[in-house]
Amino acid sequence: MPHFTLDGRTIPFEPGQTLMEAAMAAGVYIPHLCYHPDFEPHGSCKLCSVEVNGRICSACTFPAAENQEVISASEEVRHLRLRLTQMLFVEGNHLCPSCEASGSCELQATGYYLGMTDGHFSHFFPRREIDASHPEVLLDRDRCIFCALCVRASRDEGKNVFALSGRGIHTRLVVNSPSGKLGDTDLEATDRAAHICPVGAILVRGTAFRAPIGERKYDHRTIAQVALEEERPLVGRQHGQAED
Amino acid sequence: MGKPKIRIATTSLAGCFGCHMSFLDIDERLLDLVEIAELDRSPLTDIKHCTDCDIAIVEGGVCNSENVHVLRELRRACKKLVSIGACAINGGIPALRNRYDLGDCLEEAFITGIGVTDPQVPGDPELPLLLDKVHPIHEVVKVDYFIPGCPPSGDTIWAVLTDLIEGREPVLPYELTHYD
Amino acid sequence: MPSDPIQTAALAVERYGNHLSSLLAILRQLQQSHHYVPRPAMEKVAERLAVPLAEVEAVTEFYSFLHSFPQGRYEIYFSNCIIDDLQGRETLQRRLCERLKMAVGTTRADGLVSVAETSCTGLCDQGPAILVNGHAIGSLTGEKIDRIADLIEQQICVEDWPAKWFRIEDRFERRDLLLTAAWQSGKALKSALRRGPEYVLEALSDSGLRGRGGAGFPTAKKWRFCREAAGEHYIVCNADEGEPGTFKDRVLLRHHADQLLEGMTLAAFVTDARRGFIYLRAEYAFLRAELEAAMRQRRRQGLLGRNICGLMDFHFDIEIVMGAGAYICGEESALLDSIEGRRGQPRNRPPYPVTAGLWGQPTVVNNVESFIAASLIVLNGGAWFAGVGTEKSKGTKLLSIGGDCRWPGIYEVPFGMTVTEIMILCGAGETLGVQVGGPSGTFIGPGEYDRRIAFEDLGTGGSFMVFGKERDMLEIVRNFTDFFAHESCGFCTPCRVGTSILVHLLDKLRNGWGTAGDILELERLGRVVRQGSHCGLGHTAANPLLDTLERFPDRYQAPLQEIDFSPGFDLDGELETARRLTDRFSAADHLTQE
């Protein structure tokens, strides 16, 4: 089997695999927010940035190749990831104490994993629209990080409920209905798109705070441990294909 | 005579004093603390103004002119400034008001709101003027260390404090790192 | 023109076709007819094209010249390129807004007019410039602005404004190899047909021609890779000349269109492509009619269309696709997405367009100048071209020179010419520096004027901006950085967020609130944006900042506060609302900045 090295460790890969897929399959966690093994890679959050032969690449989209030297654990890469995470925090309104995703939020858990204690930059405090029109699902755009997982999940389900609109710092999540409201779409609480949000932007109502503090997803286990346990078995499956 | 005691000041700006309550949660370790440290300006001592300090701990964000004055006094007086809790670090719950225009808020609260009698925005010079937005303190003064949490646990505060007192760079273990 | 947007939408779908790749043209039609894209019209388009409504909305909101909210019946955009700014754009913009009693960035309450800023419109040789309902007007003066305001108030149709205002002047200040070569329509193509595709590829290879858009990929290789890739092949001309300061494609498209079309046809011959596209930036809409006339002429001559040169199996035709205001669409993969009717977002690479371009098929994407050079190389042989230039950069380069010099215009110079030589040619006096290759290129100061225009030294797509000695360095850098923030597609975190933070920090410096820590922060953040971004826009967005920090540290140090920290926002200004509402204006009701 061909292989590359990741932080000095030999990682075998199958032709066609990305660096992320090969690393995850080998049990090595690379931070990520917009990547999910069930969906076509997006490559936008850049948390999975690694150094490949001296250049920064996104592990989730970059194809693995023989004799590549990949660095993920350097101080430089860690600093880059920390700053990217901080950018995502200050760009939106991520006020964890008031968010019901707190404790099971991947952005927050990534912050913990990277040892982030503050936002570093000035906060943007943008004013974004909240959509509470749907009886079962709440859309709080304050927390959207534009990972497009909901867009991809809904597209794969044939519903296309979500899309990213606008441009640059004015990018925003929009909803596919004449009114632009979630309540007028065919989204159902059982849809994958309603559950895939890595942060607290799309929330299924009536499920908040079921797990008490101390028993939430990332209270005792790091996002690296959780991701390897939950996503590793999915790596290598066709995107969008359900498990039999 | 023993070693001079470490001087610590604490204050709460636009916050709920939850971080101070959590500070008290270090419980009997308070006794260890007072062996080596002395509290300067703090709600616990009721000292109104700061003298030279080693460490200042600030809870809460900056929402008005008084917050700015207090924060600057602490910054000038201390060697190391510690930002504690969600409000100080990113504005926290008070920053939820940042989605509204300040003028609209004051008008609704004091002029056009239901049940308002004698409509006028209170303008007594004693009252601090509100800023348009609630800001994290690192946007107003230089901050040296951050203790996240809402509030951070007593253990978290103790861990950082002991590191600082003993001259170590504080590093929080995973279990003690929380933004909520 | 129907007054019902739904009807406009239906007619536009009839006209352009009910497929996704018509979407941009349909949206442009709606914007033109109704001065925005009303939601019911979006619904109609979504239904007819069988795409989600949210996607129609998302495409609309991606492009600067398309709007989901009403604009004025006169839509005015001021080009805010630094060169237009140095020529007094802001004063003129203020003057117009005062005359029209409105604020920039808004639509007037009566719906008559909207005034906004846009990125460089490609008229730096005759700025300041504006676009009025898509029509370009250059060489603005205060008097012209006053007359424009009057014409708008009198509701005179833009088509009836003085015709001379719309005349775009093209100044050739120096001609060399390309601009002096003899040309006869169809001759290169016939020669290629006679000698075969391998001859064309060899001539291109011998010539050493590299892509003129700036990246410099060898043209022969690109065409060969595409030829060898299996599938339906496409030829795309990138005429989305958006790099601030450049306008050479504007001039080439007008005066050398036939050579361009022949170059594209040659590429089609080599790769066996049947369809070609010219992606023309919206700002150059005034060139469209002439280009179409040039295509018609070639079709009449049997040089374009079916059975080219009488051959049974050579069919190739070209369509013009209009952009709608997005610099990022100059990035080739974003351009392809835009042609396909999507948001112009750069794709993940690999694969590259030569193997997976338009609709996933092998595609040659070249710059206007590259196609023109290719047609002349086939005509005159590789050696003719390779005889000029340097070892790694053969031939000549067209420069668009603007800014503080006596003779702005088009200069065709051999590769290897030094900046000093160029500065003499264009009549530059004492200078602060030159931005070579636009904001994404390199800023150099007088100490480096012995450097050469060449891929191996100072690469450039054609922009060459001269800045006089008295110019404000921070204003220039702020303008460039803001340009990138405005044009960022928003896809990746470092570019979307990082460029905005850079602008914020540069504003802090310009407000006089900067400290030494801010300089350090700018430098570090600049590197994060450069390293971490998804595409060339993000990779180069911090170039102006990092280049000048390295070369002119004094200009950054001079305005700094001596303290080690200062807030990045106007602390006292944030008390103004409360002061006003409580009627408190004593000294105690103010805050100092630090």
What are the pLDDT digits (tens) for B24-83?
Answer: 999 999 999 999 999 999 998 999 999 899 999 999 999 999 999 999 999 999 999 999
C569 reaches A (C-beta below 8 A)? yes
**Which residue is listed with tokens 């504080």?**
B170
- pTM over cut 0.95: yes
Residue B2: the pLDDT is 67
Report residue B147 as tokens.
């203790």
Give the count of alpha carbons within 13 A of C114, CB side only: 20
Distances (CA, A) of B35 to B29, B31, B32: 10, 7, 5
Looking at residue B151, its amino acid is: P
Checking if the pLDDT of A243 tops 50, the result is no
B175 reaches A (C-beta below 8 A)? yes
> How would you classify residue C499: left for phi > 0, otherwise alpha for psi between -120 and 50, otherwise beta?
alpha
Hey, which bits of chain A come out as E strands? 3-6, 9-12, 49-52, 55-58, 69-71, 130-131, 137-140, 162-165, 172-175, 202-204
Angle between helices C187-195 and C257-271 (to 10 degrees): 20
Mean pLDDT, rounded, for B100-105? 95
What does the radius of gyration of chain C's CA atoms come to, in whole angstroms?
A: 25
Residue A47: Cβ within 10 Å count: 27
A210 reaches B (C-beta below 8 A)? no
Please check whether residue A50 is in contact with residue A12, taking contact to mean a CB–CB distance below 8 angstroms.
no
Give the per-residue SS3 of A97-150. Answer: HHCCCCCCCHHHHHHHHCCCCCCCCCCCCCCCCEECCCCCEEEEHHHCCCCCHH
Angle between helices A106-113 and A223-231 (to 10 degrees): 130
Cα gap B89→A117, rounded to integer Å: 8
Angle between helices C89-99 and C142-153 (to 10 degrees): 30
Q: Which residues pair with C394 in a beta bridge?
A: C389
Please check whether residue A173 is in contact with residue A201, taking contact to mean a CB–CB distance below 8 angstroms.
yes
Cα gap C535→A166, rounded to integer Å: 18
Q: Quote the distance between the C-alpha of residue C314 and its chain's center.
A: 33
Q: C494 and A160: CB-CB below 8 Å?
A: no
Distance (Å) from the C-alpha of residue C574 to the closest C-alpha of chain B? 5
Residue C11: the pLDDT is 97
pLDDT digit string, tens, across residues A72-104? 999 999 999 999 999 999 999 999 999 999 999
Checking if the pLDDT of B168 tops 80, the result is yes
Residue C594: the pLDDT is 80
- Which helix (H) or strand (E) segment holds residue C117: the answer is strand C113-118
First to last CA, chain B: 43
Distance (Å) from the C-alpha of residue C238 to the closest C-alpha of chain B? 42
% of chain B exceeding 70 in pLDDT: 99
pLDDT digit string, tens, across residues B112-144? 999 999 999 999 999 999 999 999 999 999 999
Task: Name residues of chain C where pLDDT drops below 70.
Answer: 1-2
Looking at residue C27, its amino acid is: L
Checking if the pLDDT of A242 tops 90, the result is no
Candidates A117, A209, A213, A221: best to mutate against B (most CBs of B within 10 A) is A117
Q: C534 and A171: CB-CB below 8 Å?
A: no
Q: B86 and A97: CB-CB below 8 Å?
A: yes
Residues, chain A: 244
Distances (CA, A) of C518 to A238, B136, C317, C501, C563: 47, 18, 54, 11, 11
- Contacts of residue B145, defined as CB under 8 A and 6 or more positions apart, other chains included, come to A117, B80, B81, B82, B83, B160, B164, B170
Residue C218: Cβ within 10 Å count: 15
pLDDT digit string, tens, across residues C56-65? 999 999 999 9
pLDDT digit string, tens, across residues A209-241? 889 999 999 999 999 999 999 999 898 776 655
C261, C206, C563: which is closest to C395 by C-alpha?
Answer: C206
Confidence of residue A244 (pLDDT cuts 50, 70, 90): very low
Please check whether residue B159 is in contact with residue B176, taking contact to mean a CB–CB distance below 8 angstroms.
yes
Mean pLDDT, rounded, for A129-150? 98
- Which helix (H) or strand (E) segment holds residue C317: the answer is strand C317-322
Cα gap A155→A208, rounded to integer Å: 26
Residue B1: the pLDDT is 52
Residue C560: the pLDDT is 87
Residue C260: the pLDDT is 98
Residue C579: the pLDDT is 97
Residue of B103, B127, B131 with shortest CB distance to C575: B131
For chain A, the average pLDDT equals 95
Distances (CA, A) of C157 to A55, B177, C148: 54, 65, 11
Candidates B62, B63, B102, B131: best to mutate against C (most CBs of C within 10 A) is B131
Residue B12: the pLDDT is 97
A89 reaches B (C-beta below 8 A)? yes
Distance (Å) from the C-alpha of residue A122 to the closest C-alpha of chain B? 6
Report residue C3 as tokens.
């007054």
